[in-house]
Amino acid sequence: MKKRNLIILTILVVIGIIFCAYLMISPLINNIIISNGPVGGQTDSHGCLGPAGYSWNDSLGFCLREWELNDSNRQAAEIAIGPLSYYVTIIKVDTLNCSGCFNITIQRNDNRISSNIQLKDWKYYFPPNCDYNSSTKTYIKKDANCIINFLCTNDKKAFSDECGCGCEKILSQSECRNHTSTNCPSTCQVCPSCLTCDSVLCSSEEFCASIKLNYCTQEQKSAEVCPEYYSATCGWFNSSVKCLKYPCAQTFANPCFACANPNVEYYTTGECPK
């Protein structure tokens, strides 16, 4: 009787040891299987991973879990894989907060590499290369659909673009010197030879071409007495003056009075634009 009980106890101990060993090595075996990708027999002829619930949809042309995608998701995924020449699995389709906007996560069936494709208005969309460390722009909100509900300092203006919105440095006259009305940055206040940019009511190209910029000479700047006659002259201020609106200039009686002002860099004939 004692011998029989000893045999039963020995068998139970052996079974317990085997069970514990299984619990210890089972996770290691699973990790090896996952890291090496699908094992033979787990994928169909198109590369769809059947055990994970994916199957080939012949009308759409990709692997998917049929129950996960609604009609809009399927349409977006079909557009996303249109240009591709290899079989893929649709891992996920996220609907974004705009019309026809989606983020589609796909996985190649040949090498299991995943990537994201974005659609905007049901078309391929390539996100902008956002420079959030720009020296001239400070992004307050990093959202393409952000609302400008903040104020900028006097030397900056509010802006919004595909990367977000914030405050942008207003460039000075000297910083704008090499621009014209057709290529002037939106933050230029004054751009010789066109005097000001499209963004702040630039005059016509014909008007710009007719204007002659007369830069003040050292002799004009040092004049102590000016003749008393009237010949309307527009004196345009240098970068030391931070103007909030166009024109960054003042009308003087004549060129002498204009250049005698230390803030004037050059002048044009006639009164300053309104």
Kindly state the average pLDDT of the residues 221-245.
84
39 or 51, which is more confident: 51
Q: In the prediction, which pLDDT does 1 show?
A: 58
Q: What is the spatial distance between Cα 107 and Cα 129, in angstroms, rounded to a whole number?
A: 24
H or E segment at 63?
Answer: strand 62-64
Q: In the prediction, which pLDDT does 210 show?
A: 54
Q: Count Cβ atoms within 10 A of the Cβ of residue 253 and give its class: 0-12 exposed, 13-18 middle, 19 or more buried.
A: middle
Residue with tokens 């203006």: 157
Q: In what order do the strands lie in the sheet with 214-215?
A: 214-215, 264-269, 233-237, 249-252
Q: Cis before residue 186, ω within 30 degrees of 0?
A: no
Q: What is the spatial distance between Cα 201 and Cα 213, in angstroms, rounded to a whole number?
A: 19
34 forms bridges with which residues in the sheet? none
Kindly state the average pLDDT of the residues 206-228.
78
Q: In the prediction, which pLDDT does 190 show?
A: 45
Q: In the prediction, which pLDDT does 49 show?
A: 92
Residue-wise pLDDT for 10-28, tens only, equals 777 667 777 666 666 655 5
Q: In the prediction, which pLDDT does 39 show?
A: 41
Q: What is the spatial distance between Cα 161 and Cα 238, in angstroms, rounded to a whole number?
A: 30
Global model pTM greater than 0.85:
no
Kindly state the average pLDDT of the residues 80-93.
92
Strands annotated E in 109-247: 114-120, 123-125, 137-141, 156-161, 164-169, 214-215, 233-237
Q: In the prediction, which pLDDT does 194 show?
A: 45
Residue-wise pLDDT for 93-120, tens only, equals 999 888 899 999 999 999 999 999 999 8
Residue-wise pLDDT for 178-202, tens only, equals 555 455 555 554 444 444 443 333 4
Q: Count Cβ atoms within 10 A of the Cβ of residue 24 and give its class: 0-12 exposed, 13-18 middle, 19 or more buried.
A: exposed
Q: What is the spatial distance between Cα 211 and Cα 230, in angstroms, rounded to a whole number?
A: 20
Residue-wise pLDDT for 47-79, tens only, equals 999 988 999 999 999 999 999 999 999 999 999
> Residue 127 corresponds to which amino acid?
P
How far is residue 6 CA from its own chain's centroid?
75
How many C-beta atoms lie closer than 10 Å to residue 49's C-beta?
A: 18
Would you kindly state where each structural domain of the chain is located, as residue ranges?
50-125, 201-269
Residue with tokens 């059947």: 50
Q: In the prediction, which pLDDT does 186 show?
A: 57
Residues in the chain: 274
Residue with tokens 């000297």: 174
Flag whether pLDDT at 169 surpasses 70: yes
108 forms bridges with which residues in the sheet? 88
Q: In the prediction, which pLDDT does 133 show?
A: 87
Q: What percent of the chain clears pLDDT 90, i.e. is strictly above it?
A: 28
CB 114 within 8 A of CB 106: yes
Q: In the prediction, which pLDDT does 156 show?
A: 81
Q: In the prediction, which pLDDT does 189 show?
A: 47
CB 262 within 8 A of CB 238: no
CB 56 within 8 A of CB 46: yes
Flag whether pLDDT at 134 surpasses 90: no
Confidence of residue 142 (pLDDT cuts 50, 70, 90): confident
DSSP 68-122: T--HHHHHHHHHHTTT--S-EEEEEEEEPSSTT-EEEEEEETTT--EEEEEEETT
